[in-house]
Amino acid sequence: MEQPVQRDPAQIDPGQANQVDVDKLMSFVYRAVDEVGATLNTALVVMGDKLGLYRSLSTHGPLSPPELAEKTGTTERYVREWLCAQAAGGFVDYDPDSGRYSLRPEQAVALTDESSPAYLPGFFQIALGSVIDSPRVTEAAKSGTGIGWHDHVADVHEGCERFFRPGYNAHLVAEWLPALDGVMAKLERGANVADVGCGHGASTVLMAGAFPESRFLGSDYHEGSIATARRRAATAGVDDRVSFEVVPASAFPGQGYDLVTMFDCLHDMGDPAGAARHVLRALAADGTWMIVEPAAADRVEDNFNPVGRAFYSFSTLLCTPCSLSQEVGLALGAQAGEARVREIVTSAGFSRFRRAAETPFNIVYEARP
């Protein structure tokens, strides 16, 4: 194959040659090499997760490529190449003397321990699903049409669940619910709770396990997610106190709820204001609406950091198209910020709104009638 001719980057466009700092240009190109490697690594992390390569390395490592292939029922040639890419990216360690690969304790926790808040494979899985579906977003950006949550590949739905669950396990019962005024006592005594936009029900099942006296309705407009949520509740043995319904947020059934929760879904809705009005109608007079949204500042420039970058990217590929696919199509975006969320909530008629808790990735708002 004919090789491309190597040219001095400053000569690419002679008209710009005087303005181009070649060192800066090349450092940008090298940064792009890193970014392309990272993009491809998204697929490789999901591959390692699905094939059990990280788990086997964690349990049995250090391992050579044939040993890892043998233990995971995979083929040596693929595993060897995968290991080289992982070692080059710092996701596994390599010992040249033994020719074996291993995971350091921190890598093992982040890549294999589903109970750790630092668990990462779900993050990569939803990213991979988003990238797989991105050609449709490119087309949609021309016409302005939306793409619903239900339209995505399963890696988006399952990755979302596996991405968020570790954070809910770490923060929901220990920090977020206690940060709400009087809610813990109600949950312990026996409260009526609606978990709206619950997806695979990670938050619903977790709360139901922690508060056996309370009753939970999980709802989502996506039928496939609700089918999975029902299975999750049955597996966790909490299906006696949890029910699920396929219904949009503007119409979930029931009245007099002590608590309505929305985890990372208000901004995905086409009509968050309509959903807010429905929550107000469904709440008891002294009820609470807990809204968990991605961490974000009000000014876009204050979100130009690694977390904001990831959330704006998910927002471009998932959240904004989802909202645009529904009626109203407000498209708040995943980085709407507190001021915009407050405006939606108070315009719907809630009299109190405050930031109750936060983590580097989430803000928890409390709204009261």
Shortest CA distance to 226 belongs to which of 215, 239, 213?
A: 239
217 lies in the site for ligand SAM, by CB under 6 A: no
101 lies in the site for ligand SAM, by CB under 6 A: no
| Smallest separation (angstroms) from ligand SAM to the CB of 259 | 15
Task: In whole angstroms, give the CA distance from residue 216 to residue 208.
Answer: 7
Per CB under 6 A, the list member of 67, 155, 220, 366 interacting with ligand SAM is 220
Number of residues that bind ligand SAM (CB under 6 A): 22
155 lies in the site for ligand SAM, by CB under 6 A: no
- CB atoms < 10 A from the CB of 139, how many? 11
322 lies in the site for ligand SAM, by CB under 6 A: yes
Cβ proximity to ligand SAM: between 79 and 202 the closer is 202
160 in Cβ contact with 200 (< 8 Å): yes
As given in the structure block, the two tokens for residue 20 are 């181009």
How far does Cα 97 stand from its chain's mean position?
A: 40
Per CB under 6 A, the list member of 51, 242, 265, 276 interacting with ligand SAM is 265
Q: Is 174 helix (H, G, I), strand (E, B) or coil?
A: helix
123 lies in the site for ligand SAM, by CB under 6 A: no
202 lies in the site for ligand SAM, by CB under 6 A: yes
Nearest residue to ligand SAM on Cβ basis: 199
206 lies in the site for ligand SAM, by CB under 6 A: no
For the chain, how big is the Rg over CA atoms in Å?
Answer: 23
249 lies in the site for ligand SAM, by CB under 6 A: yes
Cβ proximity to ligand SAM: between 322 and 331 the closer is 322
| Smallest separation (angstroms) from ligand SAM to the CB of 100 | 38
Shortest CA distance to 206 belongs to which of 167, 245, 179?
A: 167
**Window contacting ligand SAM (CB under 6 A); options: 24-32, 84-92, 218-226, 343-351:** 218-226
Task: In whole angstroms, give the CA distance from residue 206 to residue 218.
Answer: 12
Task: In whole angstroms, give the CA distance from residue 241 to residue 173.
Answer: 17
As given in the structure block, the two tokens for residue 36 are 């392309």
Per CB under 6 A, the list member of 54, 176, 211, 263 interacting with ligand SAM is 263
Main-chain phi, psi angles of 363, to 5 degrees: -120, 135
Cβ proximity to ligand SAM: between 208 and 322 the closer is 322
Per CB under 6 A, the list member of 158, 264, 338, 366 interacting with ligand SAM is 264
Per CB under 6 A, the list member of 67, 155, 158, 161 interacting with ligand SAM is 161
Tokens 């709206």, located at residue: 196
Per CB under 6 A, the list member of 269, 336, 345, 348 interacting with ligand SAM is 269
- CB atoms < 10 A from the CB of 299, how many? 10
197 lies in the site for ligand SAM, by CB under 6 A: yes
Close Cβ partners of 357 (under 8 Å, ≥ 6 residues apart): 171, 175, 176, 179, 363, 364
Is the link from the previous residue into 105 a cis peptide, with omega within 30 of 0?
Answer: no
278 lies in the site for ligand SAM, by CB under 6 A: no
| Smallest separation (angstroms) from ligand SAM to the CB of 155 | 13
Q: Look at strands 257-263 and 192-196 and give their pairing.
A: parallel
Task: In whole angstroms, give the CA distance from residue 31 to residue 33.
Answer: 5
Cβ proximity to ligand SAM: between 220 and 338 the closer is 220
150 in Cβ contact with 75 (< 8 Å): no
- Which positions touch ligand SAM (CB under 6 A)? 149, 160-161, 164, 197-199, 202-203, 220-222, 225, 248-249, 263-265, 268-269, 322, 326
